[in-house]
Amino acid sequence: MTPLGHETIRRLPKVLLHDHLVGGLRAGTVLDLAAPAGGAGLPAADPDRLRAWFGAPAPTPEERARRLDPVVALLQDTASLTRAAAECAQDLAADGVVYAEVKLAPEQHTEGGLTREQVVDAVLEGLRVGRAKARLFGLRTDVRLLLTAMRQAADSLEIADLAVRYRHRGVVGFDIAGPEAGYPPTRHISACEHVKRANFHLTLHAGEGFGLSSIWEAIQWCGADRLGQGVRIFDDIAAAEDGSAKLGELAAYIRDKRIPVELCPTSNVNTGVLPSLAAHPVDTLRRLRFRVTVNTDNRLLDSATLSEELARLCAEFGYTAETLRWFTVNAMKSAFIGHDERLALIEQVIKPGYADERARWASAAFFRQEDPW
């Protein structure tokens, strides 16, 4: 069976829950922003070579993330933040992403004198501009913001409070990111409790570079609604050759409670968490009916749009559009907007989008009825 092509996947409605604003800049924009400072020490002066530098393998997730330091340094004023956010919304719309939650760490953008509120305002304005520009081309997308606190910093409670205060202005939740080893989620338990007590939403990076204890703390101590990454949950699953699997208590809890897992397969391979896409547990977790979602993480570092990410999975695991619809509906169900809004997008945008594509192809190979919803 021929794998679904990139163009078909691009036309299908998609949902993205784990994507960092800073990690998704266009290479050309990075160069533009660096131009007034004579290139700002970037290692290449043309977009293709710069993209290749960002995309080269790195030994650890932390080292890879540090590659974005020069990008962060360029995003210290409202104009560049607004431009980055506008282009993010336009790029996601062009890729057929109908709903996205993009992560922003406000504290990383205050070196030039902006307050955290000004940082968030500039990015929200950019998302608004980007959505409006996309609409001019007949593309619709809805991009919301997650405010991220860095694990190694001490201001997570302030960031959590900022997220809560912006809940009616486009911010839909709180996130914690940064190095896992040495910085367990419980260091930030006050921030997480603040979010929960405000009846607000929480996703924590856990189970990427570090193992099950990080996931356990994120879920059972911090009350995370979703797991950012979470791929290491596979360490709590004993999978046999015949396809059967025995789940440990933590893995069973996550599956039984339908806790969404924000998997970022290409990112996991590029950071060395997994040796190859073929070795990635995304397919086993899908077959075991975890609430799997597929995400891009850092589009600039991983040279991937969501369509490309999904195309790689289709090529590796033989997925049909039915499987992609399952991932998409999973992600939409797991979004931090209201249930009525999620349902409207599923019923009025996602399902009709897949039905349109099905009609276009009318091919038995396109949909396999035995695939799960």
Q: Which is nearer to Zn ion, 77 or 297 (CB)?
A: 297
Site for Zn ion in 247-306 (CB under 5 A): 297
Give how many residues touch Zn ion by CB under 5 A.
1
Q: Which is nearer to Zn ion, 101 or 297 (CB)?
A: 297
Query: What is the CB neighbour count within 10 angstroms for residue 212?
Result: 17
Site for Zn ion in 80-139 (CB under 5 A): none
Looking at 110-264, list the stretches that DSSP marks H as alpha helix, in order from N- to C-terminal side: 116-136, 156-165, 189-197, 212-216, 249-256
Tell me the closest approach of the beta carbon of residue 262 to Zn ion, in angstroms. 8
Query: Which amino acid is it at 299?
Result: R
Catalytically annotated residue among 87, 101, 180, 208: 208
Site for Zn ion in 206-225 (CB under 5 A): none
Query: Which amino acid is it at 202?
Result: L
d(CA 319, CA 298): 23
* Contact by Cβ (8 Å): 146, 134: no
List the x/- string, 307-336, binding to Zn ion by CB under 5 A: ------------------------------
What residue is closest to Zn ion based on CB? 297
Tell me the closest approach of the beta carbon of residue 107 to Zn ion, in angstroms. 16
List Cβ neighbours of 211 (8 Å cut-off, separation of 6 or more).
232, 235
Cβ-based burial of 362 (10 A; exposed 0-12, middle 13-18, buried ≥19) = exposed
Q: Which is nearer to Zn ion, 225 or 297 (CB)?
A: 297
d(CA 341, CA 274): 35
Tell me the closest approach of the beta carbon of residue 135 to Zn ion, in angstroms. 28
Query: Which amino acid is it at 370?
Result: E
Site for Zn ion in 171-210 (CB under 5 A): none
- Residue 208 annotated among the catalytic residues of the structure: yes
Q: Which of 222, 224, 204, 210 is nearest to 103 (CA)?
A: 204
Tell me the closest approach of the beta carbon of residue 79 to Zn ion, in angstroms. 26
What are the DSSP calls for 304-360, one per residue?
Answer: --HHHHHHHHHHHH---HHHHHHHHHHHHHTSSS-HHHHHHHIIIIIHHHHHHHHHH
Q: Which is nearer to Zn ion, 297 or 357 (CB)?
A: 297
Tell me the closest approach of the beta carbon of residue 24 to Zn ion, in angstroms. 11
Give the helix/strand (H/E) hosting 92.
helix 78-94
Q: Which is nearer to Zn ion, 297 or 302 (CB)?
A: 297
Tell me the closest approach of the beta carbon of residue 341 to Zn ion, in angstroms. 24
- Number of helices (H) and strands (E) in the chain: give both, helices first: 17, 10
User: Can you say how many angstroms the Cα of residue 318 is from the centroid of all Cα atoms in its chain?
Assistant: 23
Q: Which is nearer to Zn ion, 91 or 297 (CB)?
A: 297
Q: Which residues bind Zn ion (CB under 5 A)?
A: 297
Q: Annotated active-site positions, please?
A: 208
